[in-house]
Structures are given as structure tokens and as C-alpha cells.
Structure 1
């Protein structure tokens, strides 16, 4: 896959991008087989007419292959630049003192790509100063954008304080007019000078509080601050495979899925304390 940011050496987040996808998959398959080899205790079967046979306990299903582009359903964009020239992307560094624009990153879903230009224009009209990391001054820290397969959007604006909140409350409807598929809009307050993106206080300004994300048999409802796998298609395939495994009549389970929604749909989970944790992270079912 070609990426202009990787080739320009301004973003190195995808170190395997030049490696053919088929080769990446084969390497992953070999790696996971090595990891699980210690769990696979083959049995030897000998009959008078046949030599010993070694049979694996595992049935290896075909590996799921993700789309290479347009699959990521969430963007975490640092807001930098100036009030009149907003940059959405990576934080400033010595070579790029005003930040690195990543609006054309090929990983993001089309609905997220389409939202960047209106968001940037609205922020410039808002007139709040981007947060400056070295001086710890400024107000706007991040824009977090999530999208579901239908193109519905959730936009969260992370601010250092409530100094610009009044302006946001009175102008965010302009952004909604430009993005008719914007269903959830909120402001997160993160006053600390830290690499932790989100603060504890979330102020939801839209009438809707969730966007639906596809589950297995029912939708999951994603709230601000909740986690959902960033590759929607891959999570669907994962949940579907896990659902088939759950039908297997055995008392043993290897618990490898603990994210938004999956265990919340299990009666045993919903009766336990873990369901309270799930609700606290914004998952509705």
C-alpha cells in the first residue's frame, strides 16, 4: 500500500507498509502457531497395520484478511498550528513546528475523511487557540472522530479547560449543519499536561448520546469514552467466530475478547460485577 506520509518520512506508524500483505499474513500465521505449540499436545495412535500418527488438537481455520485501506473507524487527531491555520494530525516536532497534517491517511473510513475539512473550518471560525505542548498554553488539544459503517459520526473535542466551552456550545450547530450524519458531539475536559488524551469530564452537547456499531444479532451502542475495535470488519469476523465457538459444548473457554459489547451480551457476564464495569465504559445493550 502506498502512503504519502510514510514515503515522506513524516509518519512511521505502519512499519510493515512496504511488506506485501500476503507475506504479513503468512508470517503472522507462523508466529501464532509457534506461540500455541506449547498448548497443543498431540496424541500418538498406533495400530498393528499402521505406523504411529500424530494428530493436532487444533483445527486451523482460514485467516481473516482485513481491507488494507479505509478500515479504521476512529481518528485521534492532535490539533496544532494557529487559530487561523489549524493542523489536524500529529503533534509538532523540530522538523515540523506547526504539526503534521494527516487528513489524507489511507487507513481512515471514508466518512471520517469527509469530516476533516468541515471540522477544521469550524475550528478556525471558533477562534480557540490550539494547545501548545512546550508552553502548556492554549485550549484545543484533540479532535476524536468515530464512524460506523453507515457513516454516522461521533465527534469529541478535547479542551484544556472550559474557557472556550461557551463558544463551542453556541457554534457547534454550524458543524452539524455541514455534517448531517453527525449524531453525537461532546466536549472532553483534560486539564492535565500529560500524554493521556482524555480527561474525566465529558459534556455531551448533542441530543443523541450513542452511535450504533454492528454486533452479532444486535447493534452495540458506542458512547463517548467507550472503546470499540478500530477495525469494524475485523471485529465483526472475530465476534462471529467467537459466537460459533461459544456453541461448542465444553466447559473450557479461552477468554480473549474483552472489549465493548461482547461479554455484555452473555447472561453470565451480565449477572456479574464485570457488567458494571462494561456499563461504566459506556456500552449499552
Structure 2
């Protein structure tokens, strides 16, 4: 892939830019295998799964700079300004078209871009997500609610310019801090979720919910995990750090298990997962998603004085567990709980950090890797996603 922004030194986020993609993929696979060599036999590795090397991102995170009537969308340039990135080659086609059109919409809206150096202005960031059906969720990150009427007035122009726009929100971030969004979200459209249709499952993505950045490779990951689970002849699956329910709901739809339970810290994601389950026609109790701390959800804690039943026993204790934690991994306490849950025969661990994955696998010595695979969610970078199937010995 060739990138004018990279060549000009404007953006260096893609640390592998210029390296032939086949070499990138081989190097990344070799690096992950080496990091897990003490825990994963080389013969257990499947061929890495990859998608396009460009045009793969379903989400754009754009800082807004410039001035009222002449906005610039991109990244901070290190001098208090914003470097344009509206023609980044990583974006999916529908997303790319949206990003190129948004400066005009912002200019016509009259919204004033936020000036980082002066700490003045209103519009800080714009976050855009494209679905597999080319529908869009557009989130405007504002300094204060005072600009909500102006943003509402701009909705017709936004929809006319970008007909695929389904969800529009205002996210409020009053503080001057190095984050992309604040905690408060005001939905400005009738629809409050974007449907990410993956392998026949319409996953509902709400504004502050997590979804993999690469839809093509996420599809491959869901299929692989479902295939693994299908071989286990399990009845009950639990999905910790379940997000919008992708792993659990794909396994349920495929008939790989009879019932699923998901745990996630985000109430919005849990609502989305339960909504998808209802739309799939899951009977009450067959697909249960709950808000909670995944690290505290399985078996007794390490300091428990007496044995206790696992929390949330509906719909039954798990025979297979799926975990998809953030970069910090599942941690010592959950690893302890998994290690001491003898009825739990299999675990699927999807990780975006091979270092914490290695640490967590070492903390569960009674579970051995049965299969492993790299999923290249992030071409042009060293970031990775690895999934492993574990079996109790």
C-alpha cells in the first residue's frame, strides 16, 4: 500500500507502511508464534487469517481543527493544529466517501472547531462508523450542549449529503483532556444503534459500544470461534467481556451450543446484545446478557474462605467459556477462577496483546492450547489479534 500522508511525514501511525503486505503478515505471524512458543506447539498453529491491506477500517476517529466555515479533519499535527487525513487509504469505501464529505457539512453547519492551544471553540472530534450495509453512525464530540440546536439544524444537510446516515449523536466532552469522547451521549435521530450485519447476525452497535475495527477479519474470527465451539458438543457457553454479543450469538445461531450467557461492563452493549437475541428469536433464558464485571464472574475469588456457586447461574454453568478482554488481559483473579473450575472443559481466548495472553495462559496450567490462529485486524501496523482454543487436561 502507498500512502501520500506517510510519504510526506504528515502521519506515521501506520508503522509498517511501505513493507509488502505478504512480508508484514509473515513477520507478524512469526512474532506471535515466537512469543507463545513455550505454550503453543508449532504444529497447532493455523494459517493466519487476513483481509485487504487497505480499505478495511470501518471506523474513523477525526480531530476537528481549522476555523468556522473552513474546518480541517484529521489528526493533531504537534503544533496545536490539525493535519488533514480525509483521504486516508485505510477507510472502507462508504466510510471514505463520508469522511471526504464531512468537512463541507461542518462548514455549512456553522459549528466552530475547537482550538486546542487556545482552549476555545466547540466541535472537538467526529467519530464515524460504517456498517456492512453502508449505513453510517456519525458522532459529533462537542464542548458543551449549547451547540445542540445548531447541530440539529444541520441534520437534514447531513442526511442529504450522506444518505446512508442512520444514527447521529452529540457526545459531550467539556473537559480539556487528551481523550476522544466524554461520558454523556445525546442521540439526535430516531435510531440509536447501527446494525453491523455479520454472517446473518444483525449485531446492534450503540454509540459507546465496542466493535472490531476490521469487519472482514472480525467475520473470520467469529467463524473460527464458532467452528471451534461446534466441535466441542457443549450445551452452555458463557461469553465474558462479550461486548455486543458477537461470539455468543454467532455460536447460538449456528447451533454450536444450546444456550449462552454474556457479561459486559457496558450497559449499552448489553442492551444491544439482548436486542439482537430477541430479533434472532431466542426463547427466554436461552440468550442472557448481563451488565457486570467479567473478572469477578466465574467461581470463587482467590481469597474466598468457603467454596461458592458461580454468580449468575442462568442459563446454567458453562462447559465452554469465551473471553475477549482488553489489552490488559483477564488478569490473575479471573485466571485463578478459570483454573479452579474443573467442570469448565474448554476456553476460547481472543487477545489483542500477546504479552498479556502469554501471562494469562501460564496462570492456567491445567488448560492446554489445542489450536491457535493469528487474525490480522490491523494491516500496516504491528498490532495483532490472536485466538486460542484451550482444553483442560
TM-score, with normalisation over the residues of structure 2? 0.62
Contact 2:225 / 2:247 at 8 angstroms: preserved in 1?
no
Q: 1:189 aligns with which of 172, 178, 196?
A: 172
Note the C-alpha offset of 1:6: 0.2
Provide Cα deviations, 1:242-277, integer angstroms capped at 9, x if missing partner.
1111123288x9x8985432245263424xxx15x3
Give the Cα separation in 2 of the matches to 1:5 and 1:59: 40
**SS of structure 1 residue aligned to 2:231:** coil
Give the 3-state SS of the residue equivalent to 2:107 in structure 1. Answer: helix
Alignment deviations for residues 126-184 of structure 1 (CA, whole Å, 9 cap, x no partner): 22211111221110000111001221111000000012111111221211122111111
- The answer for the alignment partner of 1:88 in structure 2 is 73
Q: Give me the whole-angstrom Cα distance separating, in 2, the residues matched to 1:23 and 1:92.
A: 30
Is the 8 Å Cα contact of residues 87 and 98 (structure 1) preserved in structure 2?
no
Higher relative contact order (CA 8 A, sep 6+): 2
Q: Is the 8 A contact 2:58 2:91 kept in 1?
A: yes
**In structure 1, what is the equivalent of residue 163 of structure 2?**
180
Q: Residue 239 of structure 1 corresponds to which residue in structure 2? A: 222
- 1:110 corresponds to which of 80, 93, 106: 93
CA distance in 1, matches of 2:37, 2:100: 49
CA distance in 2, matches of 1:57, 1:116: 43
Give the SS at the match of 2:44: coil
Aligned equivalents of 2:230, 2:99: Cα separation in 1: 43
Counting only pairs closer than 5 Å after superposition, residues 78-227 of structure 1 correspond to structure 2 as: 78-94=63-79, 98-227=81-210
- 2:261 partner SS: helix
Name 1:68's counterpart in structure 2: 53
For 1:29 and 1:125, locate their aligned partners in 2 and report how far apart those are by CA, in whole Å.
47
Q: How far, CA to CA, are the matches of 1:61 and 1:32 in structure 2?
A: 12
Contact 1:131/1:140, CA 8 A, preserved across alignment: yes
Residue 22 of structure 1 aligns with which residue?
22
Determine the C-alpha separation between the residues in 2 that align with 1:224 and 1:233.
21
Q: Give the structure 2 partner of residue 2 of structure 1.
A: 2
Conserved? CA contact 1:229–1:259, under 8 Å: no
Shift in CA distance, 235/119, structure 1 to aligned 2, threshold 3 Å: same
For the pair shown, the structure with the greater C-alpha radius of gyration is 1
CA distance in 1, matches of 2:38, 2:211: 31
Q: CA deviation at 1:216?
A: 4.2
Task: Check 1:229–1:5 CA distance in 2 against 1; reply closer, same or farther (3 A cut).
Answer: same
Assess if the C-alpha contact under 8 Å between 1:213 and 1:222 holds in 2: yes
Q: Residue in 2 aligned with 1:280?
A: 268
The structure-2 alpha-carbon separation of the partners of 1:39 and 1:233, relative to structure 1 and needing over 3 Å to count, comes to same
Unaligned runs of 5+ in 2: 253-258, 277-393
Give the unaligned 5+ runs of structure 1: 41-55
CA distance in 2 between partners of 1:108 and 1:161 (Å): 29
C-alpha distance in 2 between matches for 1:278 and 1:217: 24
In structure 2, C-alpha distance between the alignment counterparts of 1:87 and 1:191, rounded to whole Å: 21
**Distance verdict in 2 for CA 1:57–1:119, change over 3 Å:** closer
Q: 2:244 aligns to what?
A: 260
Report what 1:49 is aligned to.
none
* Residue of structure 2 in register with 1:33 after alignment: 33
Distance in 2 between the 1:74 and 1:219 partners?
Answer: 18
Contact 1:80 1:92 in 2 (8 A): no
TM-score under structure 1 normalisation? 0.85
> After the TM superposition, which of the residue ranges 213-222 and 158-167 deviates more from structure 2?
213-222
How far residue 16 of structure 1 moved from its aligned partner, in angstroms, is: 0.8
